[in-house]
Amino acid sequence: MSNLPVDRVTQVPPFTHVGMDVFGPWTVCARRTRGGLSEGKCWAVLFTCLVTRAVHIEVVESLSTSSFINALRRFTAIRGPAKLFRSDRGTNFVGACRELGITPIEAELQSYLKEQGCTWDFNVPHSSHMGGEWERMIGVARRILDAMLLKVHSPKLSHEVLVTLLAEVVAIMNARPIVPVSSDPRSPAVLTPAMLFTQKTDTLTAPLGYFDLKDLNRSQWKQVQNLADHFWKQWRQEYLATLQPIRKWQTSQPNLQVGDVVVLKDKGARRNEWPMGLIVNTFPGRDGRVHQVELRVVQGGSARVYSRPISEVVLLFRKT
């Protein structure tokens, strides 16, 4: 297994490094007509902070580039500008980059919103495991939303109801603990993403008594900074430690090389119909391990070059 990317273990403000994906759809009542109700579909764009594990959800009415750009603008207007976006190669993401004038070069997209200094990193095609940070959050959001929809008496959702339900989903997910809950009563409060947003570690009511407004204004910034320092101290001591164990791919294997003959996995074909290809380029990471390759496949008399993760290819013959 490769090392964790730097953008997951660097202490930065929330939503500086963001992973995102689209999920849905849901059928909603668009408007009332004389013949009944006009129905439409809505999707949701999930933004997850790669550092604090916080989430933000925006509703879109189509999978077009324009709808996604509007959702992206709403996200940056609320959470502030981001420095790095990570996503898969969805057509709406690629289309948004094309419309915004972003040109991809290898693993990094240059010049997205140049005035903000933001970059966009696309995962390798057919490599959903490389986006596990946000794929996991989509699974959690789906389960919470499905449980809420079971309590909705009318199956006809309006756009307002769907937005409200997704807001509740965000609140629940941001209040989840990201480290194991300790049974020690002397341990500090459990670490949650909401601690950094709300600056609240508990739900206690305000203390009784008289407080001078001058004293409150004078010490408020210290209280905010103390809570932020408390969050990042727990983040370093408790959360980062949970990312260190290597849970799979623990055995070292020889790197794939240019000239190796491989079989390309194809979920839409039978096993004995998987195409055979020749590796023409490799992309080693900082650890020297190859995790992405380019291979040439001949199908129907024409040659095509595909970019795939090593988990999607099977080695047949090694170049001597």
- CA separation for the pair 119, 97 (Å, rounded): 11
| Buried-exposed string 109-148: b where 16+ CB fall within 10 A, e elsewhere | beebbeeeebbbbbbbebbeebbebbbebbeebeebbeee
Residue 217: the pLDDT is: 43
Residue 82: the pLDDT is: 86
- For the chain, the C-alpha Rg in angstroms (whole number) is 24
Please name every residue paired with 58 in a beta bridge, in sequence order, or none if there are none: 45
**CA 201 and chain centroid, separation:** 25
Topology classification of domain 6-174 = Nucleotidyltransferase; domain 5 (3.30.420)
How would DSSP label each residue in 31-46? Answer: EEETTEEEEEEEEEEE
Q: What is the pLDDT along the chain (320 residues), one digit of tens a residue?
A: 777 788 888 888 889 899 998 888 888 887 666 666 678 888 999 999 998 889 999 999 888 878 888 888 899 889 888 888 888 887 777 777 777 665 544 333 344 445 556 777 888 877 777 888 888 888 888 888 887 777 655 556 778 888 888 888 888 888 888 877 766 666 666 788 888 777 666 543 444 454 444 444 445 555 555 556 666 776 777 777 777 777 777 777 888 889 889 988 877 777 677 888 899 999 888 888 888 899 998 877 788 888 888 888 888 888 76
Alpha helices in the chain (DSSP H): 6-9, 65-79, 91-99, 132-149, 159-174, 194-198, 213-234, 240-242
**Cα first-last separation, the chain:** 26
Around Cβ 242, how many Cβ atoms within 10 Å? Answer: 10
**How is the chain split into domains, by residue range?**
6-174, 261-317
Residue 281: the pLDDT is: 92
- CA separation for the pair 299, 315 (Å, rounded): 19
Residue 107: the pLDDT is: 37
Residues 104/119, Cβ–Cβ less than 8 Å: no
Total count of residues recorded for the chain: 320
Around Cβ 175, how many Cβ atoms within 10 Å? Answer: 13
Please, what's the largest Cα pairwise distance for the chain?
84
Residues 291/285, Cβ–Cβ less than 8 Å: yes
In the block, tokens 């194809």 appear at 266
Q: Which of 109, 91, 112, 110 is nearest to 100 (CA)?
A: 112
Q: Is 13 exposed, middle or buried (0-12, 13-18, 19+ CB in 10 A)?
A: middle
Residues 44/22, Cβ–Cβ less than 8 Å: yes
